[in-house]
Amino acid sequence: MKTLQELTRPTIWRLKPYSSARDEYNGAAASVFLDANENPYNLPHNRYPDPMQRDLKKELSKIKKVNLDNIFLGNGSDEAIDLVFRAFCEPRIDNVVAIDPTYGMYQVCAEVNDVEYRKVLLDENYQFTADKLLAAADEHTKLIFLCSPNNPTGNDLLRSEIEKLIQNFEGLVVLDEAYNDFSEAPSFLEELDKYPNLIVFQTFSKAWGCAAIRLGMAFASSDIIGIFSKIKYPYNVNELTQKQAMEMLQRYEEIERWIKMLKEARESLEAEFAQLPCTVKIFPSDANFFLARVTDAVKIYSYLVSKGIIVRNRNSVSLCGNCLRVTVGTAEENEKLIEALKLYK
Ligand SMILES: *Cc1c(COP(=O)(O)O)cnc(C)c1O
């Protein structure tokens, strides 16, 4: 791996972060707060939230078995995705490499930040090889993006290839584990100490059932987390989100039950979907959704919309011609989908 200084944009490396009122007073016991120009009324929403989300990170660190200073929390994973570009990629000079197809936000953030985005096509089983990704990289490649289980294909990427890539790439590997809770594959969080060039993304939006609160997590070396913390908005995770996340962390066992239920529901939904006349193929999934090739994705998508049922049409995505991506819902929702499709002609 190159040094973190070599991988970081010089302007970011030199940056002295904005120091907020609540940063300077760092949580020591106090009862009179006259430092942040807040209104003293309208409790409890009158106060700025903890900029470093210490209480929340403490609870998360127990569940994820990761040290506090290896955790970054953001306004959805979207914030973390944007931050890696802003931290490491010099616009018009650096580039990133990513598997294709994958989650669309990596490319959008690359374009917003004026950074070249190099796509490397997966094979027919939606797998990649480390060698192909490395061949697409050059001395200006700062990041390689992987997503496992991948979206929209649903499958886990091969662990041996992920490891090979991390070991052989000079830059940083960003591994998006948004759907790892649904997979049998262990999270790479366990390997964080072994790989200083690994950044793992997870989110409260899927298994945790909290898409509305906008809370994403990035896990990496304390040096990388330090850079994210330096350039983030001071109060990037609001108080209501921090509170709700704390509450969800107390309900950990309930979340485990949801995950088990959704995995079982996926299997029965896949089995029923496979029987439909309009189904051509169902791709193996390790997530809470699956990708299916159908006879005519555009027509079937519109037909379902007319019945008030929305799935994701992935027809125009690489290697996903005539494919629909179907999220596993409640038993009732899944039933409505199947009943509607049985009637499709
Ligand atoms: C849904 C999803 C996310 C979650 O993004 P948030 O901003 O945390 O809601 C991240 N990565 C992938 C691949 C996803 O599909």
Q: Does the Cβ of 178 fall within 6 Å of ligand 1?
A: yes
| Cα of 341 from ligand 1 centre, angstroms | 28
Output the pLDDT for position 19. 83
Residue 300's contacts (CB-CB under 8 Å, 6 or more residues apart) are: 278, 294, 324, 341, 344
Output the pLDDT for position 27. 63
Contact at 8 Å (CB) between 50 and 242?
A: yes
| Cα of 312 from ligand 1 centre, angstroms | 15
The sign of the torsion formed by the CA atoms of 217, 104, 268, 341 equals: positive
Q: Does the Cβ of 147 fall within 6 Å of ligand 1?
A: yes
| Token reading at 157 | 């990427």
Output the pLDDT for position 26. 66
pTM: 0.97
Identify the CA nearest to 162 among candidates 5, 183, 283.
183
* Nearest atom within ligand 1 for CA of residue 203: 8
Q: pLDDT for 268-322, tens place per residue? A: 999 999 999 999 999 999 999 999 999 999 999 999 999 999 999 999 999 999 9
| Banded pLDDT at 22 (limits 50, 70, 90) | confident
Q: How many CB atoms are closer than 10 A to CB 112?
A: 12
Contact at 8 Å (CB) between 98 and 120?
A: yes
Per-residue exposure over 126-145, b if at least 16 CB sit within 10 Å of its own CB, e if not: bebebebbbeebeeebbbbb
Q: Does the Cβ of 176 fall within 6 Å of ligand 1?
A: yes
Over residues 214-219, mean pLDDT: 98
Q: How far is CA 125 from CA 110, 166, 296, 310, in A?
A: 26, 21, 21, 26
